[in-house]
Amino acid sequence: MNLPHTKVQDGIIIEVKVIPKSSKKGIVLGEDGIIKAKLTAPPVDGAANEQLVKLLAEQFGIRKSDVVIFKGETSRKKTIKLTGVKF
């Protein structure tokens, strides 16, 4: 999957639109070029963010600690840094 991203010194930064309470979880690239993360967890008490971090770590083969949500913690649109990922 060729994801839109910005390269930084130690990884990449991606913009993700989160779709909580979906029937299946996964990452898709929408026709509009936006990365969408479908999550089964509800957006309550950080459950969706926790599932998003785990999903991205699994998808990119990195540790959960290498996935940092640094913008949009309580929003559906999030900016995320993935340390150790290169394209």
Determine the residue type at 40: T
Helix (H) / strand (E) element for 42: namely: none
Task: Quick: pLDDT tens for 27-78.
Answer: 999 888 889 999 999 999 999 999 999 999 999 999 999 999 999 999 999 9
* Residue 22 confidence (pLDDT) above 80: yes
Helix (H) / strand (E) element for 52: namely: helix 47-60
Tell me which DSSP letter residue 9 carries.
T
State mean pLDDT over 10-27.
95
* Residue 14 confidence (pLDDT) above 60: yes
Tokens of 56: 């991205």
Report the candidate in 53, 58, 19 with the shortest Cα–Cα distance to residue 39: 19
Question: Whole-prediction pTM value?
Answer: 0.92
33: region left, alpha or beta (phi > 0 left; psi from -120 to 50 alpha): left
What CATH number does the domain located at 6-79 have?
Answer: 3.30.1200.10
